[in-house]
Every structure is written in C-alpha cells, then in structure tokens.
Amino acid sequence: MTSQPPTSPPPPGAEAVPTCYRHPDRETYVRCQRCDRPICPDCMREAAVGHQCVECVREGSRDMRPAQAVFGGAAVAAPRVTWALLIANVLAYGAEVLMPDQVLGRFQMWSLGVYQGEWWRLITNAFLHAPPPSFWHILFNMWALYAIGPELERRFGSVRFATLYLLAALGGSVAVYLFGTAAVGASGAIYGLFGALFVMARRLGYDARGVIWLIGINVVITFVIPGISWQGHLGGLVTGTLVAAGFAYAPARNRTAVQLAIAAAVLVALILVVTLLPPYGIPAAFVTG
C-alpha cells in the first residue's frame, strides 16, 4: 500500500458558485425556503418567511381550497350579477320609452299569449316596467335590487343568486298566468329576493324582524294600492323563499348537487303548471277556442 501526499485545499474562491436552478447562467446565494434550491431574483416569490421558488408557490396554491360563499359557490368579490340585472332592466325600460307598444305588446306577461305558445313572456316580463309617465315602478324595484342584491349575491354566490332571481321571476309570472290576465314588472323577482333575505337571516341567526316588517308592509301595499298584481308579487315571494331555503339549508355533503336538484325541481314544477293547467283568469271561451 503506497502512501499519498496530503491533498492541499483549493484556493479561496475556487469553490463552485451556486446558480439559479431555472437560469444556470445566473449566480445566486438565495435558496427557496421549501425545496432549498438556489433561485435568482426573477424566480423569487415572497413568502411568510424568506422566499420560495415558482414551482413551490404553484404547488402550494394547488393545495389551497378556493374561497367560497356562505351557501356554496365561488366567493364574490364584486356583485356582477346584480349590476348586470340593473343594467338589463334599465336598457329594457329605455326600449319601452322609445317603442312602448312594440316592446310591451310583444314581451310583457299576458296569460292568453303564454297559453297560445308565447312562453318567452314568462321571463321577458321580469325586465319590463310600467311605461312613462309612471316612473315609481322601476325606481322602487331597482332601488330594492341595489339595496339587497349585493348582499344576497355575496352570501349565495353569483350563479345561485342569478338562479334564485330568475326562478322567482318565473314563479311570479306563472302565478299571473294562473290567476291573472296581464302584468308587467320585475316585482316578482324582487319579492323573491325579500323572501331570500328572510331565509338568509334565519339561517345565519340574524334578527329577522326587520325583514318580516319589510315583507309585511309590501304585501299590504300590494292589496291596498289598486293596479298592482298581487299574483306576481306573491308568486315571486313564495318561489324565491322556497328556492332560497333549499339553497341555504342544503347539507354540506353534496351541497352543490342538492342545490342543483332543488333548482331543477322548482323549474320543472313551474313548467308543468303552465303546460298542464289553463289560465283561470281568462274566460273559458278564449282558453278552449
């Protein structure tokens, strides 16, 4: 066995200089706090302590659950559905001002028209209002939508809120179809939001007495002031309350599937009512003729 002379240490500065694992041409002495790989300034991401590399940040984001609304669905940063509904109602009212006979004659709720196959009236009616010179109708409905829409959208999520609004509007129109003759307005949908506000307050343990007073006063106004469609108001109120209760009290397990089933069941029930039952508010001669 031959002896070897001791190996002399490398001169200072001869050690390998660490380089960024993504950019090998860049020297760096900063390492990722998770994987300990060297990272250059372009690959650094701020962390609670130190920095992390791009891949570790991406992996950590994949493990995080996205924020959700209280009753399911993605969290709502801005109430876009509420604003979209406001804009749609205002634009429809502008069309009424320009062409009142054409717009109302074609799109407002009319029981006989629906019975004869003009099904679109059940929904388009919810975006129309009493034509000028009457402005109180659209002002009240849009004020109510502006006042309570954003809070309900944040609690229920945008998709569920839109579903609630449209089903309540449809429920109001179906009630007009059954027990009235003609109507116009988004009041059915707005009363549905009143019912949803009550359900939300009860579900979250808030004091619901103020909401009860709000609903009670508006129901009284419905029957006291002439020319108001009680059918549309009460139909929207009942439908919106039922849908909101189904959304709010759905079990945490399979919540989305249960909520979807509830919305689908309400939609099918409303369609069957219009399909199978005649409008009682229309004289029999028109219905059978």
Q: To which residue do tokens 């579903």 refer?
A: 163
Task: Tell me the residue ranges of DSSP E strands in the chain.
Answer: 45-46, 51-52, 109-110, 182-183
Query: Token digits for 102?
Result: 């054409």
158-179 and 136-156 helices, crossing angle to 10°: 140
Annotation marks residue 51 as catalytic: no
144 closest CA partner among 76, 85, 70? 85
**What would you measure as the largest C-alpha separation in the chain, in angstroms?**
121
**Residue tagged active-site, from 111, 158, 187, 229:** 187
Q: Is 111 annotated as catalytic?
A: no
Residue 106 buriedness (CB in 10 A; 0-12 / 13-18 / 19+): middle
**Which of 93, 284, 88, 281 lies closest to 174 in space, CA to CA?**
281
Our CA dihedral for 117, 123, 129, 130, rounded to 10 degrees, sits at 20
8 A C-beta contact, residue 270 and residue 174: yes
Task: Please identify every residue annotated as catalytic.
Answer: 187, 233
